[in-house]
Amino acid sequence: FLSRGVEFLSPFLPSKGTKRWQRLQIRPLLFFLSQKGLCFGGAAASMAEDLVLDTAIRDWVLVPLSVVMVLIGVLRYFVSKLMRSHQAPDLKVVKEGQVILRARNLRAASGFIPAKSFRSRKTYFTNEENGLLHVPKGQSQNAQAQMFSDPNLAMDMMKKNLSMIIPQTLTFAWVNFFFSGFVAAKIPFPLTQRFRGMLQNGIDLSTVDVSYVSSRSWYFLNLFGLRGLFSLILGEENAMDDTQRMMQMSGFGFDPSRVIA
Amino acid sequence: MVGASEAARMERLESQVENGGGGAWEYLCLVRKLKARRSNKVLKHGLSILNDHRARSKLGAEEWTLYEQVAFAAMDCQQHDVAKDCIAVLSKQFPGSIRIGRVEGMLLESKGAWAEAEKVYARLLDDSPLDQIIHKRKVAMAKAQGDLSAAVKFLNKYLEIFMADHDAWRELAEIYVSLQMYKQAAFCYEELILSQPTVPPYHLAYAEVLYTIGGLENLQTAKKYYASTVALTGGKNTRALYGVCSCSVAIRQLTKGRNKEEKEMSDLQTLAAEALQRDYKQRAPNKLPLLMSMLKNMKLNS
């Protein structure tokens, strides 16, 4: 993995530090191997030796990756603002929202009004013929089906999804292509072996401590963590980062008619 | 939520600005946020900011909000030409905007040209049928013309769509009370209590309406609501205490023959009477004899 990483990074590295960097990578590797040789018998203890990572990694991997992700987020925000179609509020939707608010108030504060008025309001909402909240069996449409049948909503959703998926995919591919095959950072707390497959993706050495992660994990860290930064730059409500959108996407089974029940 | 601290701050700023100190812009922002109606002051200070070139350019995008605020204040003070100037500037900047159209409609209203204002509002409603403020302007117009039944009709239609708007319910309740349609007013107050159960004025108003309608059941319910007002205000509401006493008297008059509930009623009444006496002794001791004679009459009339 060393040669591949060096190959890709050498155009970026300052010429002075190249050999030193190579040497730094190789030395701990030999050290580890010698350790393994010495530890005959019992299970290998956790390698508490510290790898010294070149500052060039910080300059040319970590910082550019973060900067690029911030810029892509800002770009996405502006693009979404441009593409947002103004949806005129529908009378029926507004009315339904208000009815629900009123019914909720009725349920919450029912102890404060006389019993007779509570009953009359209850029948107003739920009686069989023209109750506002009464939904005859079999007629209630699944919210999801409704969402798809309304073309405007479907287009909006598609646009939102696209604006999220495409930059993510592109950035991920870019990271994998350029920044794989070497140790990028060390996580300050110890981790179990289970995370090895996730975090050490390009590193093909199985003895390296799991705290040493590849740049892919740095990408994921940024992905989930830049929300605070976006809320500072773009103002409070635009700080939606991808986790929220992913949760929104997966929350499709949300059925509003069952909210009140 | 509007806090008492903000109201106090506004008062302080008002006195400060009146006496020549700075802070006019902050004062105007607070007035706008708290929706206080200080039109002559807003007009004076707003105009001083707008006419000063440097101060106006310092405002940036907020300049247009200030124009709108000054236009409203000018209309309130019946200075139509000032309002017209402001509207002209605004419509040059935002041609065809619904918000500006609303201000124009209000100018026609303040001049008394009801029919034209009506036409303007109808046109705006065609464009955006869900604009709450235009609906409310129509109601206000009907009320200003003295046509309360039309106001009631408009308000009912508005509430069919926006039934969670508690300000509208409150307005409707007050109109019903002035029209003496007490049953409908009681319904509106019930809506208000449902949406905001911890606000004492609604309990008090509901109790008063019930007391006015009369009838044994309503009087008993009214007494309960007077009592809940007393509970919500920590015993400080004198009117509610009086209400408890009068309800007890009225109930006792209606149930002259039956003895069973008298004991529990007189407990509440004696407590209320004591609270009233304490209150008067503290705050208006020279009116205490009036209170004492009234209480004596109430006890004697049972």
Q: Which residues of A touch B164 (CB under 8 A)?
A: 97-98, 101-102, 105
* Mean pLDDT, range B180-204, rounded to an integer: 90
Is the pLDDT at A14 greater than 50, yes or no? no
More confident residue, B202 or B12: B202
Nearest to B164 among A98, A109, A112 (CB): A98
Given CB atoms, is A42 within the 8 Å cutoff of chain B?
A: no
Torsional sign, CA A31, A181, A2, A18: negative
> Of the ranges A29-43, A71-85, A102-116, which is most confident?
A102-116
CA distance B164 to chain A (A): 5
Asked if residues B45 and B27 have their Cβ atoms less than 8 Å apart, the reply is yes
End-to-end Cα, chain B, rounded Å:
46
A133 near B CB under 8 A: no
- Interface residue B195 vs chain A (CB under 8 A): yes
Tell me, what's the pLDDT at A46? 45
pLDDT of residue A16: 47
Where does the pLDDT of residue A244 fall: very low under 50, low under 70, confident under 90, or very high at 90 and above?
Answer: low
Which residues, in sequence order, are bridge partners of residue A186? Answer: A212
* pLDDT at residue B169 in the model: 92
For A112, the closest of B130, B164, B194 (CB atoms) is: B194
Is the Cβ–Cβ distance between A182 and A1 less than 8 Å?
A: yes
Band (pLDDT 50/70/90 cuts) for residue A32 is: very low
Q: Is B215 within 8 Å of chain A by CB? A: no
- Using N-to-C axis directions, what is the helix angle for B132-144 and B166-178, rounded to 10°? 10
Among A91, A106, A113, beta carbon nearest to B129: A91
ipTM of the complex: 0.74
Which residues of chain A are within 8 Å of residue B129 when distances are taken between CB atoms? 91
Chain B CA closest to residue A89 = B130
Within 8 A of B128 by CB-CB distance, chain A residues are 88
- Residues in chain B within 8 Å Cβ distance of A105: 164, 194-195
Whether the per-residue pLDDT at A258 is higher than 50: the answer is no
pLDDT category of residue B212 using cuts at 50, 70 and 90: very high
Residue A33 has pLDDT above 80, yes or no: no
**Quick count: other Cβ atoms within 10 Å of Cβ B253?**
11
pLDDT of A20 reads 54
Where is pLDDT greater, at A254 or A152? A152
Asked which of A111-115, B70-74, B185-189 is least confident by mean pLDDT, the reply is: A111-115
Residue of A nearest to B210 (CA): A114
Please indicate if any CB of chain B lies within 8 Å of the CB of A99.
yes
Min mean pLDDT across A56-60, B4-8, B72-76 is at: A56-60
Higher-confidence residue of A50 and B45: namely B45
* pLDDT category of residue A143 using cuts at 50, 70 and 90: low
Nearest C-alpha neighbor of A135 from the set A144, A148, A126, A143 = A126
Query: Per-residue pLDDT tens for B267-288?
Result: 788 888 888 888 888 888 888 8
How far is it, in rounded angstroms, from Cα B231 to Cα B244?
12
pLDDT at A39: 36
Share of chain B above pLDDT 70, in %: 95
What stretch of H or E contains A132?
A: none
Q: Give the span between the Cα atoms of A74 and A86, in whole angstroms.
A: 21
User: Cβ–Cβ of B162/A113 closer than 8 Å?
Assistant: no
Query: Nearest chain B Cα to A120, which residue?
Result: B187
* d(CA B191, nearest CA chain A) in Å: 8
Can you name the residues that pair with A213 across neighbouring β-strands?
A185
Structure tokens at A58: 């910080």
For residue B240, which of B204, B265, B206, B205 has the smallest C-alpha distance? Answer: B204
Q: Structural domain boundaries of chain B?
A: 1-95, 186-302
pLDDT at position A246 is: 56
In angstroms, the first-to-last Cα distance of chain A is 58
Task: Decide: A211 and A187 in contact? Cβ < 8 Å.
Answer: yes
pLDDT band of residue A238 (cuts 50, 70, 90) is low
Q: For residue B252, how many other CB atoms are within 10 A of its CB?
A: 20
Chain A residues lying within 8 Å of B221, measured CB to CB: 114
Best probe of the B interface among A93, A98, A100, A119, by most B CBs < 10 A, is A98
Work out the minimum CA distance from A120 to partner chain B, whole angstroms. Answer: 11
Flag whether residue A105 sits within 8 Å of chain B, measured between CB atoms: yes
Domain B186-302: assigned CATH number: 1.25.40
* B contact test, residue of A90, A93, A105, A121 with most B CBs within 10 A: A105
Provide the pLDDT for residue A113. 84
The reply to whether A29 touches chain B by the CB within 8 Å rule is no
Nearest beta carbon to residue B161 from set A95, A110, A117:
A95
- With cut-offs at 50, 70 and 90, classify the pLDDT of residue B177: very high
Q: What is the b/e burial string over B51-71, where b = at least 16 CB atoms within 10 angstroms of the residue's CB?
A: eeeeeeeeeeeebbebbbbbb
B284 touches chain A (CB under 8 A): no
Q: What is the mean pLDDT of residues A142-164?
A: 67
- Count A/B contacts: CB-CB distance under 8 Å: 46
pLDDT at A106 over 50: yes
Residues of A in contact with B183 (CB under 8 A): none
Residue B204 · residue B229 · CB < 8 Å? yes
Average pLDDT over residues A22-35: 48
Record: contact A98-B197, CB cut-off 8 A: no
* CB-based contact A214:A203 (threshold 8 Å): yes
Per-residue pLDDT at A42? 35
Please report residues of A whose CB lies closer than 8 A to that of B187: 117
pLDDT interval class at B173 (50, 70, 90): very high
- pLDDT above 60 for A35: no
Nearest CA in chain B to A103: B164
- Per-position DSSP letters for A66-82, written without gaps between them: HHHHHHHHHHHHHHHHH
Residue A1 pLDDT > 50: no
Q: What are phi and psi of B5, to 5 degrees?
A: -65, -35
Q: Using CA of residue A102, residue A104, residue A109, residue A111, what is the dihedral sign?
A: positive
Chain A residue numbers touching B194 (CB-CB < 8 A): 102, 105-106, 109-110, 112-113
Q: Identify which has the larger pLDDT, A149 or B162.
A: B162
In this prediction the pTM is 0.67
CB contact under 8 A, A109 and B187: no
Q: What is the mean pLDDT of chain B?
A: 85
Does A179 or B243 have the greater pLDDT score? Answer: B243
Percent share of chain B, pLDDT over 90? 14
Tokens of B190: 């019930």
The whole-number pLDDT of residue B2 equals 57
Residue B211 is predicted with a pLDDT of: 92
